[in-house]
Structure 1
Amino acid sequence: MHWVNVEGYPMPIPVGGHPALELCNTWAGWAAPPSPERDWLRDYDRLAVWAGHVGLLAPAVVGRLREAGRRRPSAAGEVLAETRELRTALHDVLLDPDDTAAFRRVAGPAREAAAASVLETGPDGIAHWTLPDDAGLRLPLLSGARAAADLLTSAARTEVRACPAADCGWLFLDPRGRRRWCSMATCGNRAKGRAYAARRHPD
C-alpha cells in the first residue's frame, strides 16, 4: 500500500527522502494521462494536512490553517493553485536542470519564502530559519517553496531519480546509485509480478 490515513484523508507514504520530493509525489503517475483522480491535494484542507504529514508544519499550525481555509475558501483555493504550479515546476526542473522556465516558476515562491523567514534559536542553541504564523494561508506554499530551494541548492539535487513504473514517476533520492523503484513494496513488486507473468505466458 502506498498511502496512509491522516486526519481522515488518504496521504501518500513519504518515500522521496526530502520534503520537496514529497511535494512532487502528491501527484500520482507523472507519465500517465492527466486526471483529477491522480491529485492527492484536491483541496486546501488536504494541502494543510499533507504539510503536517511530511513535517513541514506543526500540528497546531495545521489546525489553525484548516480553520482559516474554511473561513476563506476563495483565498485558500488560490494558494492551492499556486502550490500545484510549484509542484509541477519543481518536478520539471529536477528532471531537466536546463528548464529555465520551470526554474523561474520555482524561484518566485522560493524568494517569497526566504523574505518571510526569520532566524530563531532552538533549545539546543542551534539557530534555524522559520516561517512565521502571520504568513497565514500561504504557509503550506511557502514551506514547500523553501524545501524546494533547500533541495535545489544542495548536492542532493544530483541524486534525484524518477521511479520507472509507467503509472508512477515518483521522485526519490538515490545517493548510492542502487535504488531503482520509489518503493520495492509497491512498484518494485508489481514490476516483478508483471515480469513473472510475461515469462509464464509469453506472446
Structure 2
Amino acid sequence: MSDLVPLIGEPPALDLVNTRTAVGDLLTTSDDLRTWLRREATRFPQVDVLGADADLADVRRLREHTSRLIDHARHGTPPPADDLNALNEMLRVTPAVTELRWDGSAITTARHRIGTPAAQLIAWLAEETAALLTDPAVTKIRQCEADDCVLLFLPAHPRRRWCSPDRCGNRTRVARHYRRHRSP
C-alpha cells in the first residue's frame, strides 16, 4: 500500500470506494487488501476478515459496481442494469441464515452467512452497499471539495466540505492563507 492510508469511518461501501484515490489505487495487491481489511475488521465482526483470503479481483470488481451505483443514487439518476445485476449476484454469493439461540434467559436470533470467509466478505460488502443505496441519506453523499481529492463522504454536519479536516481541510486552508499573504 502506498504512503497514503485510506480513510475509514464512512459507511463501509464508501470506505471501499475511497480506496481508489486521485493519486492511485490503494488496493493493488493482496497485502493491500489485507491491510485495508485489518483496519476495517471491527466494522464487520460477523466475517472472519483476517481469515478471508478474498480474491482481490472480486473486491475491486465490487468496488467499481459500488462506485457507479453510488454515483447514480446520489445524483438521482437511474442506475445501470449491469451494475445492479452484478451487485445482486454478489449478494447471493452466500445464503443468509437466521438461527434461534438460547442466551440463558431468552430465545434470540442471530443472522449470519454460510460459505467461505472470502465469499462471506464479498456478500457482506455487497450488503453494506445495498444498505447505503437504499438509505435516503445516499443523496447527501458529497465529494471532497479539495482540488486534488476524489474521496466521497456522508456529512454528519451540512457545512462539512472535506473528506477529512486533517488532510484536505488543512491543505486547503494553508493554500488559501498562502494565496492571501504572498507578496505581489
TM category, shorter: 0.7 to 0.9
Asked whether the 8 Å contact 1:120–1:128 carries over to 2, the reply is: yes
CA 1:78–1:62: 2 relative to 1, 3 Å: same
Distance 1:125 1:107 in 2: 37
Higher relative CO (Cα under 8 Å, sequence separation at least 6) belongs to 1
- Identify the match of residue 122 of structure 2 among 137, 141, 156: 141
* Fraction of identical pairs, as percent: 25
- In structure 2, the residue corresponding to 1:64 is in which secondary structure? coil
CA 1:47–1:182: 2 relative to 1, 3 Å: same
Asked whether the 8 Å contact 1:116–1:131 carries over to 2, the reply is: yes
Asked whether the 8 Å contact 2:7–2:18 carries over to 1, the reply is: no
Say yes or no: does 1:86 pair with 2:84. Answer: no
Distance 1:158 1:127 in 2: 33
Letter in 1 for 2:134: T
CA shift digits 1:79-118 (9 cap, x unpaired): 24423433432443344331521x6414532454256222
Letter in 1 for 2:20: W
Residue 96 (structure 2) aligns with:
117
Asked whether the 8 Å contact 2:17–2:63 carries over to 1, the reply is: no
- Identify the match of residue 39 of structure 1 among 13, 18, 25: 25
Residue 12 (structure 1) aligns with:
6
- Indicate the structure with greater helix content: 1
CA 1:19–1:77: 2 relative to 1, 3 Å: closer
Say yes or no: does 1:105 pair with 2:105. Answer: no
* Bigger Cα Rg: 2
- In structure 2, the residue corresponding to 1:85 is in which secondary structure? helix
What is the count of residue pairs matched by the alignment? 178
Distance 1:176 1:158 in 2: 14
- Identify the match of residue 160 of structure 1 among 131, 134, 141: 141
Residue 65 (structure 1) aligns with:
52
Question: TM-score scaled by structure 2?
Answer: 0.76
CA RMSD of aligned residues (A): 3.2
